[in-house]
Structures are given as structure tokens and as C-alpha cells.
Structure 1
């Protein structure tokens, strides 16, 4: 261990996950940093750690959790919401689990979640969206939804380059744009800038295509989702750069939709990934009307935010939706729901979103048997109708259990599949 920590206790047992520049080297007993989070994080995080540790043990491994801080707890102990020590720990140990965080209302970061992604260069937000049997859904066939959204994490409007109406900065920029570039921006406007770069777009799209190739038993398409008909030099460029990656970097393993029809009469060769593109507004209705037609979506930042949330709504909602933020050889895995402070500490909320985020973490670590065990046991718990209050009020004949009890039932159900 190369880093010295002042307020973080590194477990005496276990080893760090290593990165050789191409692949993770994961020991049987890794040390994994964990941010409990704010609000209901104090309920969902312990429940999640219980489930993941059990899955590891039942597949011949162990996880040594290392508590690190961000959010309100960090502000109390460090005097800041995102200590450098926390970032250092994630950099060193490569993989981390995170609960929900509250963003400070006054000053500081726009979003602690975004700050972590940007400071650690976790440029790919990967959100799988699929239905677990037993979870109520607002659509007739939620099982047709099985896709993964790859959302660029570091730029677009989320880069935060904007100034408020009436500020000196806006006046300077508005005058320059109007006088030098011929725009007609009103004096009462706030102004934001939307950067989308070739580098960030291409590395995100590579991640999406690589994921599809590594899971080609399930997925056959990667769809570039953009609004390039209107924003031609940002989102249109994202689309064009995506096709460049597909055509120039992957050989016969990847073909474009045009090639598929012009040269192959629509017949997709076995084990080949097809790259196509759709406009973002069209895609929002496509995921409702034809979800089974799409596998992997690669999107700029804002589009991915909309699409992943809309897709999650079809399989049960954001409360059970998992998420992950991945860079080169490192990742932070977190649920997409918020902190829900009014429910904090009551041992009542649903830990599924964080448990499924941990499932992605296990998959990222190469522990395929452990992640499958988590999914099977979790789904069985829902089939048994032993559920937390949010699901209980939507079903008939179920048993309402606490957050911690739900986790214990998932662990118990692992016995049937281990």
C-alpha cells in the first residue's frame, strides 16, 4: 500500500485490486472502499454489504469493506464534503461501492455524484435496465426491456459551464456572440455552453461496443442516441465519431446498419455487432413501443440521463434502478435513487437499487458466478412476495419486511442457487 490515510482505516486482511493497463487483477479477498452515503444510505448500504459479502463467501471468496466518507459525514469529520483522502482510496483500490449522497445547498459542488465522476475520470455511466419477476410495472410486458445505457459522464451540459442572467460574465459573452458571431441573444438570458469532444465521445462509444462484444450471447446492437438533426456540431458529431469508431477500429466484428442492409440484405452475421443510430426524441418512444429491438445505447450525457430514467420507469422505477460509473481500470457503483431523508434510519426502504449496483460491481470484477447468485436470490425474494413497504403497497398477498430483513431473506434464498 503506497498511500497513507489519516481518517481511513485500511483492513488488516485482504488485498488491493490491481490494474495492469488492460485488465483488472482481482484477488480472492479484495479490499473495497464503501461510502455509506447520506439519508437512507445508512439503511441500504449495510443491507447491500450483507448481500454482496454473502454472495462472495458462497462462491469461495471474501470482501473486506473499507469505510470512506463523502457527503454530510465527511463534512462533519473533514470539514469538506468530498475529501481528497476518499478520492485517493478509490484510486488506489480501484473499485468502490457508494450509497446516495446529498449535494450541498449552499456553495460547494453542483453535485457530489458528478464531482466524483469527473475528478476520478469515470467517463462511462453504465446503467443496465431489466425486469425482475415479481416487481410491479406500469407496462404490459416489462420483460421485453433488457438494455444497457452507456452515458458519457464528463461533458455536455453537465460540464457546468454556465453563467446566470444579469451577471458580468453573461454580458461579456452575450456581447461577444452578438457582435462578433451574429447571434441575437436577449439581455435577460442565462447562458450555458455544451462541449462534446471527439476524445470523450469515442472512448465512451468504445466502452459500449466492447461491452456488447463481451456479451454477444445476449446483445447484437449498439445504438448511438443523439439529437444531431438540430445540434449538428455537438450531438451530430457524437454520431459521426461513433460510426468512425465502428468502421475503423473493430474489423469484421462490428458492422453499421447501412452495411447490414446494403451488403447483407438485413441478415446479421453470427457474433457480429450492428451499430446504428436514432434521434433522442424518437428513442424515448421506441423504448416504450419496441424495447426488445434495442440492446446497448451509447449517448451523450443529457440524453443518457433522460433515457435511463425513462427506461427504469418501465421496470419498476428509480428506487430499484442500479448504476455504475466506470473509467479505465476503476469504477464506482451506486444506485440512481436519492437520499430520501424523511425515511433515513427507519429500516424500511428498499435496498434493491444498491444491491443491483453491487451486482454490476461483482460482474466488473469478473465474479460472474457471484453476480448471477445475487440476481437469482433477489428475484426469488420478490417472487415470494416478501418485500419492503414500497412494493408491498402495490401487490396483493405479500408480506411487508424491513430493509435489513429483506437483505437477510436474499441471503437465505442464495442457498437454493449456490
Structure 2
């Protein structure tokens, strides 16, 4: 989650921080330090594992086939790279009997060869295990558009998630049809809302697509295990759209 730890260019705070980095940490890689703003991006083991645990619980409950950890760990090794590593660690430690990870695949490949690794993954898939894999964010943004069937559940960090969710919403009709939710899978607390804003300028014009709000309600019912009510909403929307009873 975005932590909001940012300091503006030229501020006393950023001068202190850059001075500390230079003098105490021997950092000499900041280009144009006199005019740079600085932001700090904390990525924790606890936050990562809570997210990946929630993603796996969802995948298990909904009979999903895979979970993809999306990151830029090839560049940011100790933040986004750590996210990937902690995600695999959590998956193997807590869900070892339900998942097969690409980290396991790599270990088998190193020890016994690629054929053995492929066989192990195929066996896991045949047993209905969830394949936990990872993808570099920029590659993922291409492949999710060109090979969407290769992906199912996605776990990623806030900034990557913003890009991905809006890009994928565009593929199915835009934010007017995309539901949204903020769910704490530990406490069970949840808020469901449309992904778009209130759009007051469209009030009363019968132009706004209500699907985002309606589908957010469907998600809420499903979260409450009111699956029959959720199914009725989906079926009703399908019939309504097929009948071309739409606002736009």
C-alpha cells in the first residue's frame, strides 16, 4: 500500500534525507540531488504474506487454477523482489499440500533437469493444485492482453495494481462495469464500491452505466456466502444486456 512518505524537491526534509543518504549510507547514485524529490517505498514481509495468503484463500475457495505474483523484482530486488520471494515462501509454508510454485519448479530443474520439473508441474496440475508463479510487471501487462487464459488470480502491490486493474477494466468495457472491493480477509471487514467516482454531472440523465455498482453488490453477496443472490444478479445482468436494455 502507498505509504505517503514523500518529500518535495528543495524542502528541508528532503535536504536532510539526501544528506543522510550521502554521509551515513555512502549513497552517491542520486542524480541531480539539489532538485530531486524523494519518496520511500516500504515493502514488508508481514504485508506481503497477508496479501498472498488472502489471494490463496480466495483461489482455493473459488477453485482457481493459478496465482501470479506481479512485481519489478528484476530492478527493485529488495522491495518488489522480496515481495516475490516472501510470496513463494508463504505459499510453500502454509499451503504446501495445495500449491505448486515456480520456486519449486526451479529447484527441481536445478537438481533433476527440466523434464523432471515439467513432469512435477504437470502432476500438480492434474491433482488440482494451484500453480503459484510470478511475472515481471511490464511483461505481465503485455501477456494479460495477448494470453489472458494463462492467468487467473493476481497478487501485486499498490502501484502495479492500479495500472493492471484499469487496463483490464478497459478490456471488458471500462470502469463503468468494473466492481471494486477492499477486503480484510483476517477480520472479515469489507467495503464494496464502484471503481469510478460519483460523477455528479451525469445525475438524472439516465446515461451512467450502473453495472459497476450492481456488480459490487454481487461481490458483497458472494463475500457473505449469499451465492444464490449473487448468481441471480449475474443472470439478470446477462439477460438485460442481451436484450439491449442499457443506458448508453
Q: Which has the higher contact order (CA 8 A, sep 6+)?
A: 1
Counterpart among 126, 129, 140 of residue 283 in structure 1:
140
Matching residue of 1:183:
28
Matching residue of 1:163:
7
- Aligned partners of 2:100 and 2:121 also within 8 Å: no
Inter-partner Cα distance in structure 1 for 2:127 and 2:245: 41
Inter-partner Cα distance in structure 2 for 1:300 and 1:282: 16
Counterpart among 208, 213, 238 of residue 349 in structure 1:
208
1:13-67 deviation per Cα after TM superposition (whole angstroms, max 9, x unaligned) = xxxxxxxxxxxxxxxxxxxxxxxxxxxxxxxxxxxxxxxxxxxxxxxxxxxxxxx
- How far residue 269 of structure 1 moved from its aligned partner, in angstroms, is 2.8
Aligned length: 231
Q: Does 1:360 align with 2:219?
A: yes
Q: How does 1:262-411 map to 2 (within 5 A)?
A: 262=117, 264-267=119-122, 268-327=125-184, 328-389=187-248
- How far residue 345 of structure 1 moved from its aligned partner, in angstroms, is 4.1
Q: How does 1:12-411 map to 2 (within 5 A)?
A: 155=1, 158-181=2-25, 182-185=27-30, 186-216=33-63, 219-259=64-104, 262=117, 264-267=119-122, 268-327=125-184, 328-389=187-248
* Alignment RMSD (CA, Å): 1.5
SS at match of 1:252: coil
SS at match of 2:126: coil
- How far residue 262 of structure 1 moved from its aligned partner, in angstroms, is 1.3
Inter-partner Cα distance in structure 2 for 1:226 and 1:329: 27
SS at match of 1:381: helix
Flag structure 2 segments of 5+ consecutive residues without an equivalent.
106-115
More helix by share: 2
Give the TM-score of the pair, scaled to structure 1.
Answer: 0.53
Inter-partner Cα distance in structure 2 for 1:343 and 1:241: 45
- How far residue 329 of structure 1 moved from its aligned partner, in angstroms, is 1.2
